[in-house]
Chain A
């Protein structure tokens, strides 16, 4: 119990930090980094093949309308980086708004930008139910059970939401865990 309390305090602190970042302000450098790293993390999912019956990896960027431009830039960055294939699979990057998101838009993984708790939870709930990875622009969304985030300070850190791992039921290559900061 004690540990849980401490963790919650830590998350609250992180959330506070993220709030200090403007809701509309995205770090382009971070976005480029995420565009580079998040697709590859998808490849580290050991259940990827059953999630890509057509050998197509679909990365769905979920953003608010306000962040459509950011979503477009992110998509562009991913496509610039990887083109139409990732590894030996086809890569498709799609954009969906939180409002438009429904349970018919099942992608291989989701990248959620900044939004409200409910919207984010909605995506997380759907994705986790289908064992799909949910990348978050900010690890502040981990309180909404987003799974993975990337943060760059003096170096690039991949954050993994420890409390959400069981929720998703996803197994990554073991080595992935060695480079992540599990929080």
Chain B
């Protein structure tokens, strides 16, 4: 329904008020006038009576009845007197009409009864009764009515003129309204053609100011929009989630054009990768007029996906009702991919638990950590016996036990090398509580039974705990080692006195090592390796030693290598060994030499780069044999395989040290395409009297010969052993019986 215009409202208000006011005054004054006229008419009638009364009285007094009658008759001729009677001394002297009953009531008449007084005495002797018509009054009122009708007609003209004038005065407002109605933000409004009285000019000036402000804000908003469009993905949706707008960034990332996107549900085209639960959560949040923030995986047109950090905002109108939703998204695909990469780097691939890298990161963030290393006791044996896959299965199932305690807040678990796990607690735990948690884990592991090949096996575990921040790993390792040695379930480093001594011992050796490196007291010894048939020296194994600063005694590596590994001096020692070895053997022609490389060496990039550089520089690759020691635990490192291939491509040869202590790694190590196998010393040492050693060694030799891999028997400490290994067909022999290690410099002399 069209609303009445303001001008008409004012006009009608004026008319209504005017009519009401006039009506009020009309009725009030009409009533007063009528009353007054009625009174005047009454007084006129009374005056007539008063005029004739003395004459009637005197005539009556004189007995002139005819005169009385004539006078009454004459009086009755008055236009407005419809009835008149003269009553004297209770006798009706005259009446008109005859026998008139003046007691009747008629609202159109005014009744007057005037007393007739005796002329000589002040006493009433009768009355003059007059019924006087209101014709005069009615005529006067009729005249007034007629006059009012004329005035009303005039007033109607005034009203019409007032309406026209009002509409004329208000017409600029309609023009302003029409212009403002068609106004679009950013455009201008031309008010110049509108009639400009001061008030209207004030309004148009205000509008122009407002339009100017809106234009400024519009420009600003456009710039904001441009900024957002340029820096983020923008998607606008209606209340049903149907897309109503997408920006270029969205099209660029998703591959959808605006035409393909608009009109389609956002959950179909964008968030098809988002599960129903998250969709419901988003809708529920924004429909409750709240802002939803979170990460989403959006789908691309080509079937791929990308990740966004989305902020979905409900846009509300002036009545606080939702009119649409806007989703501003930041492309975080790279971040997510980086996170996933980092996660892969910090996660153990077998168990899915965090690895040592993550442990080192996490522990830095904790002020007073509680740390434990838990190692499975029988893992190596079971793995060696039942194979690699069974070993992995055990690791995974044990990992589940560890994961079950991560429900405890402020506890994290990690998978370390081999069969070691770690538990990290924050400062909220005291050592007793943390110890209790570790014992719970150990109990669960001890209760754990693994079924392999119709056998049920129990896997025990031990733990080393510490609350030390700086040396957490070595302390816990020491405690674990001590627990394993003493067959305790758990050992807390800080509560074990001999561990402190061990640590102090480590400290001492660290100092010694530092000094030795600085004073070139890290030296090499070379032990000859003989051809088993000719017993001629064909190779040397380079062995590291340290010269004691006090008495210049030779210290074996077993005394300091572990300490070196823990104190980060290990790689310096390795580089020292490489440097000296290549220096010496560059001066000793036609002799091959081996250097031992641990897993840590192989994975230490600077060390390997150093080795490659010296190989390229020296040209001794063809005489160099890289001997991999500590092969336990390297099976899953593809880097080892890549490294071996690289070294062999350079002309180096590869040897595996201590082969035979386990069997599960046979096939894998064979896959490395090694050149030499050095049979484990524990087998060789007892081969002359232990049947098992003989069988294992014989087996190793069999398949080595089949694969054309040369074999080396270490620890040949007597002639019996030498004879036996020669008899078995070993290619090379090494041991004190044939030649002890000598300072490498002696080879040059």
Contacts and interface: CB of A to CB of B under 8 A. Distances in A.
Given A155-B70, A156-B67, A175 B62 contact: no
Interface in B25-57: 54-55, 57
Interface in A153-183: 155-156, 158, 173, 175-176, 178-179
B120 interface: yes
Interface residues on A, range: 10 to 19
A112 B64 CA distance: 22
Interface residues of B, number: 14
B120 A179 contact: no
Given A43-B120, A44-B119, A173-B119, A179 B66 contact: no
B58 A179 contact: yes
Contacts of A158: 62
Interface centre among A40, A41, A175 (most CB of B within 10 A): A175
A172 B344 CA distance: 151
Nearest to B70: A155
A176 B64 contact: no
A37 B64 contact: yes
Nearest to B63: A36
Contacts of B347: none
Contacts of B574: none
B59 interface: yes
Interface string B107-119: 0000000000001
A180 to B, nearest CB: 10
Nearest to A176: B58
A83 interface: no
A179 B63 contact: no
Contacts of B59: 179
B12 interface: no
Interface centre among B61, B62, B63, B70 (most CB of A within 10 A): B62
Contacts of B54: 175, 178
B116 to A, nearest CB: 12
B51 to A, nearest CB: 10
A51 to B, nearest CB: 15
B66 to A, nearest CB: 5
A156 B61 CA distance: 14
Interface string B297-312: 0000000000000000
B185 to A, nearest CB: 99
B62 A179 contact: yes
A87 B120 contact: yes
B62 A155 contact: no
A85 B119 CA distance: 18
Nearest to A40: B62
B55 A37 contact: no
B126 to A, nearest CB: 15
A27 B61 CA distance: 23
Interface in B61-81: 61-64, 66-67, 70
B47 to A, nearest CB: 15
Contact of A41 (B55, B57, B62, B66): B62
A175 B58 contact: yes
A101 to B, nearest CB: 27
A179 B56 CA distance: 9
A2 to B, nearest CB: 32
Contacts of A37: 62-64
Nearest to A44: B119
A175 B54 CA distance: 6
Interface centre among B58, B66, B67, B119 (most CB of A within 10 A): B58
7 contacts: A37-B64, A40-B63, A44-B119, A155-B70, A156-B66, A175-B58, A178-B54
**Nearest 5 A-B pairs (CB), nearest first?**
A175-B54, A175-B58, A155-B66, A37-B62, A36-B63
Interface of B: 54-55, 57-59, 61-64, 66-67, 70, 119-120
Given A155-B70, A179-B62, 20 more contacts: A36-B63, A37-B64, A40-B62, A40-B63, A41-B62, A44-B119, A155-B64, A156-B64, A156-B67, A173-B120, A175-B54, A175-B57, A175-B58, A176-B58, A176-B119, A178-B54, A178-B55, A179-B55, A179-B58, A179-B67
